[in-house]
Chain A
Amino acid sequence: MGDLIVLAISCILINNILLAQYLGNCPFLGTSKKMETAIGMAMAVVFVLVMAGVITWITNTYFLQKLGLEYLRTVAFILVIASLVQFVEMFLKKSIPALYAGLGIFLPLITTNCAVMGVCLINVNEEYTFLQALVASFSYAVGFGLALILFAGVRERILLARVPGPLQDTSIALVTAGILSLTFLAFRGMV
């Protein structure tokens, strides 16, 4: 149990997926202009990442490794993730329309979110057990949400500041992300 808590803390803070592992930066910059979209994206990622992490782990352990097809991992994972996203989208539309209205536009974007694919690959490369993979997927997703929402808050304030011409928009956003990443660097000594 203690191991799992350490794993969770290290995935959320120390190896934060956005700021320390550099995964999922396109949605990080793309959806952080407004707090609302940031929260929507964060929720959608938590939802999909946990499912994708579990399903790809099962696919890898019970199909690819059993059949000796590890070299098909990249193709298999991306197909699993793409169909999972499609399925979740249809399911939510039919049965939970309120949640669909909130996550709707962010779901298709998640297929090409490298955070999802990245976490699935990390789970397999680190040879996590099922429980570890579950905890790691969830914690990485929480770390993603945490960094994204913090960043969106900072970016909303930057809109009010007077930024020099060439630094505007993406450029200043990246420098800000750098400073945010610096604060996350300080968690390194924790575990």
Chain B
Amino acid sequence: MARSIVQEFSKGLWDEIPPFRLVLGLCPVLAVTKSVENGIGMGLATTFVLVCSNVLVSSLRKVIPAKVRIACYIVIIATFVTVVELVMQAFAYPLFLKLGIFIPLIVVNCIVLGRSEAFASKNGIFRSLLDGLGIGVGFTLSLSALAAVRELLGTGDLTIWEKPIQVFGPSYQPFSFMIEAPGAFVALGLMLCLMNLVPKK
């Protein structure tokens, strides 16, 4: 348990990067990675919820009775998800419409509840904050990577801040399989395979 503070953050970036090393919370991963923009938006929203709920769970860990802890965690997470929902409705409405029901569904994302239960309930506030931030950034990175592959092959463009950038030029024939549902499963499966090629430490 003698991890340094830096390691607490960086483990989320490679050793325990979701959803590749921790195969949890796959639904948003598959659903929102049609474009890079959606991937980044979803990643940031999840990161915010992860960090806030980790901090609050950690600071209340001595107050919450063990028997009803899961229910308490869910209420805490649901509160922050509502915050994200309302903020996005106010300031990023087009993105909110694109992500649709996957924003309220952060509540049932196993990664968030998993970190509260496995980490924040046993560790101090500062370490929990770093853990949430690390896992959140890792999640955002994997979402963006998967979304980049899918969008690039599926449309030939990369969309960032509503400006599509043509990467392959106009002569590229879009491989639209990649942005449909089956492409999501296959792309994630193959990326998992690539991750497995790199040996674990």
Same complex for A and B? Answer yes
Contact surface of A with B, Cβ cutoff 8 Å? 19-26, 29, 71-75, 77-79, 82, 111-114, 116-118, 121-122, 125, 165-168, 170-179, 181-182, 184-185
From B79, B180, B192, give the contact of A170 (CB < 8 A): B192
Give the residues in chain B near A73, CB-CB below 8 Å: 104
Q: B73 → chain A, closest Cβ, in Å?
A: 11
Give the residues in chain B near A29, CB-CB below 8 Å: 23, 26
From B81, B113, B182, give the contact of A112 (CB < 8 A): B113
A173/B24 contact (C-beta < 8 A), A71-B86, A78-B74 known? no
Residue B88 CB within 8 A of the other chain? no
A20/B181 contact (C-beta < 8 A), A26-B110, A125-B101, A178-B186 known? yes
Q: Please name 29 pairs of A and B residues whose Cβ atoms are closer than 8 Å in the assembled complex, sorted by A.
A: A20-B181, A22-B30, A23-B31, A23-B105, A24-B27, A26-B26, A71-B86, A73-B104, A74-B82, A74-B104, A75-B75, A78-B74, A78-B107, A79-B75, A79-B78, A113-B108, A114-B105, A114-B108, A117-B105, A118-B101, A118-B105, A121-B101, A166-B193, A174-B185, A174-B192, A175-B186, A175-B190, A178-B184, A181-B182
Kindly list the 7 A-B residue pairs having the minimum CB-CB distance in the complex, ordered from nearest. Answer: A174-B189, A178-B185, A178-B186, A166-B196, A175-B189, A22-B31, A25-B26
B78 touching A112, Cβ below 8 Å: no
Residue B130 CB within 8 A of the other chain? no
A82 touching B74, Cβ below 8 Å: yes
Give the residues in chain B near A82, CB-CB below 8 Å: 71, 74
Chain A residue with minimal CB distance to B79?
A75
Q: B197 → chain A, closest Cβ, in Å?
A: 5
Contact residues, B91-145 vs A (CB, 8 A): 100-101, 104-105, 107-110, 113
Number of CB contacts from chain A to chain B under 8 A:
119
Contact-residue bracket for chain B: 35 or more
Chain B residue with minimal CB distance to A172?
B189
Residue B174 CB within 8 A of the other chain? no
B186 touching A174, Cβ below 8 Å: yes
Residue B16 CB within 8 A of the other chain? no
From A75, A111, A167, give the contact of B193 (CB < 8 A): A167
Give the residues in chain A near B185, CB-CB below 8 Å: 174-175, 177-178, 181
B110 touching A112, Cβ below 8 Å: yes
- Which of B24, B86, B110, B113 has the largest count of A CB atoms less than 10 A from its CB? B110
B189 touching A171, Cβ below 8 Å: yes
Give the residues in chain B near A181, CB-CB below 8 Å: 181-182, 185
